[in-house]
Amino acid sequence: MSARTSAEAALHTYPDSTGRGAVLQQLDAASIDINRSHGRHESHFAYPAYARLKESIRHCGQNEVPVLVRRRSAGRFELVYGRCRHQAATELGLPLVSLVKDAADMNDLDALRVMAVESEWGSPWSIYERGTMLRRCLDWGAFPSTRHAADSLRWRSAEIHKALIVVAWPTELLSAFPSPVEVKETWVTPLNEALIRNSNAVLSVAAEFSAGRKRGTATGVYKALLAATA
């Protein structure tokens, strides 16, 4: 069997969450491109949960839970979900067990809907990551409005509003946190209100953390930023 045939050997048909059959295959991770709207932040790869996932995949020799991809062209695929599994397989040099859909059976909107559903399972996406996905979707015209995005993805309008606020914050504010994924949804409104009241004071404190002159957990940073306008 050739290397290509081995890498893309069909194992069996596996029904995915869209209700249409998908072929289960072993793919070379290098042949899979990340969906342009995917929101998973790379800082996840530095957390213990990712290290445990990677070790589990190394131990098993493959990912036991398949990722979902769309076939885009000869030998190329697009990742719909399973970003951390894809990264782990890439780093380990292992084939990636994947559910493969033909592009004709899963259009762009289908892919976004499935991505949104999967993002709430396992290690749920942060409010920042959801905002990243939404901003990218709106920028390339996947949805004509935020209301349409809420209806299509079945996300609450308030959640979408907060998610888009977070990704619009100044870089110096987001970099004050250990990672933007540690910003909690419940912090968005109070911190945004503080930013509106006195952005200079908030960003001055943020600069202390981002420059390393002050250190703290995400919660500590949040409290310090709020205290700047107290």
Nearest residue to 83 via CA among 36, 48, 128: 36
CATH code for position 24: 3.90.1530.10
Q: Are residues 150 and 72 in the same domain?
A: no
Contacts of 120 (CB under 8 A, 6+ apart): none
Give tens-digit pLDDT for 125-158: 899 999 999 999 999 999 999 999 988 988 888 9
DSSP designation for 107: -
Q: pTM of the entire structure? A: 0.83
Q: Are residues 143 and 100 in the same domain?
A: no
Q: Are residues 32 and 79 in the same domain?
A: yes
| Residue 190: domain span | 169-227
Question: What's the token pair of residue 20?
Answer: 């249409």
Q: How much is the pLDDT for 73?
A: 83
Q: Are residues 70 and 110 in the same domain?
A: yes
Q: Are residues 49 and 63 in the same domain?
A: yes
Considering its fold, how many domains does the chain have in total? 3
Q: Are residues 131 and 45 in the same domain?
A: no
Cβ–Cβ < 8 Å for 183, 218: yes
Q: Are residues 141 and 67 in the same domain?
A: no
Q: Are residues 89 and 102 in the same domain?
A: yes
Give tens-digit pLDDT for 69-122: 999 988 899 999 999 999 999 999 999 999 999 988 899 999 999 988 888 776
Q: How much is the pLDDT for 121?
A: 77
Question: What are the b/e assignments for 5-31, b being 16+ CB within 10 Å?
Answer: eebbeeeeeeebebeeebbbbbbbbeb
Contacts of 178 (CB under 8 A, 6+ apart): 217, 218, 221
Q: Are residues 36 and 7 in the same domain?
A: yes
Give tens-digit pLDDT for 41-78: 999 899 999 999 999 999 999 999 999 999 998 889 99
